[in-house]
Structure 1
């Protein structure tokens, strides 16, 4: 399989780096530099996410919404494509990466999804100077290629909360999830499956939020 494992042992070793003898640390640093130099000779292919189009979403009024940058754990706050080889295990594809860190990329595609659903004049991002009535807060629970007994499956799960800007209260909340089978763990195939899954999730989320503002 074309992915690089990040095991608990590796994390434990990293946490004890301060106890490594100076000579051992220098040797480790030299090996790391050589390894990075070798990796740099072959650029990792970069893949993008797309915003769903060709769908519509209703609305209750003329409220304006800002889409806050999604939150995510450190393992997902990266441009690497995450793999779950087994329960509690984390790895990354060695032959693929996203075009930006996942939260930033997903925020952009979420806004575009709202715009594509005829919400162009009602959705923005924080800092655009919009006096928003609502905030959409998203947490990335899962965005990974999950290895199962039936084969690899692209799983995207997002938790969304619609918050009233004036009241600061959560007006609605829901979890959205999609799973799309992938023919293999190869970079182009895996990223395409993840892209399809996130499009399905965004359509669900845009329609859900649009009915409430």
Structure 2
């Protein structure tokens, strides 16, 4: 049993610890602003193709496989915007954008996350290596950097029909959350707009 003189100190410490825990719990329950990304404008669908395309979520590191919005103050450091997140994990968010955009081209009989039958005709596989805002050093310019490696694979024989790396940088005027999200949106639109004709041609 602790000496009688330590009891008040222990009680104070326990009380302070309890208050800190309650405070942390309160801040953890504060709602985050949720942001989404839009697909680029698609021209009127052409005659629908015959092939079925399955779009897989791209592989990504643990730092990117989250709904948090990543910022890099240095090449080796990853942080996240406070009080903000994407509407889904980043790889799933990109998968959704690609499914919607590729379906709107009308170049495939169907585009989805899973094949309608036993297997699709083609699978679009990817690896996401960059999806963050960057500003290296005090006063350095801020930009959004996206880099996605894609492979179009024919399902019947697992042959790689086409592969390409898509990389986009979009400048941001400041590091405010709304400005960065707008830069992410613009960068994503540009990248998806580059992916569409490549995937359509490779899968036709």
TMscore range, shorter length: 0.7 to 0.9
Structure 2, gaps ≥5 residues long: 1-15
Residue 159 of structure 1 pairs with residue 149 of structure 2: yes
Counterpart in the other structure of 1:194 = 184
TM alignment of 1:196-211, pairs within 5 A: 196-211=186-201
Q: Secondary structure at the match of 2:183?
A: helix
For each residue in 1:42-86, what CA deviation from the matched residue of structure 2 results, as whole angstroms up to 9, or x when unmatched? x22110011112347989x62221101221110000010000111
Quote the Cα distance in structure 1 between the aligned partners of 2:18 and 2:130: 33
Q: Which has the larger radius of gyration?
A: 2
Q: Cα gap change, 1:77/1:128 in structure 2, threshold over 3 Å: closer, same or farther?
A: farther
Q: Root-mean-square deviation (CA), in Å? A: 2.7
Counterpart in the other structure of 2:75 = 87
List, as ranges, runs of 4+ consecutive aligned residues in structure 1 with deviation greater than 4 Å. Answer: 27-33, 56-59
Contact 1:57 1:206 survives alignment (8 Å): no
TM-score (normalizing by structure 2)? 0.81
The structure with higher relative contact order (CA 8 Å, sep 6+) is 1
TM-score (normalizing by structure 1)? 0.77
Quote the Cα distance in structure 2 between the aligned partners of 1:199 and 1:130: 32
Structure 1, gaps ≥5 residues long: 1-26
* Number of residue pairs the alignment of both structures matches: 186
Counterpart in the other structure of 1:171 = 161
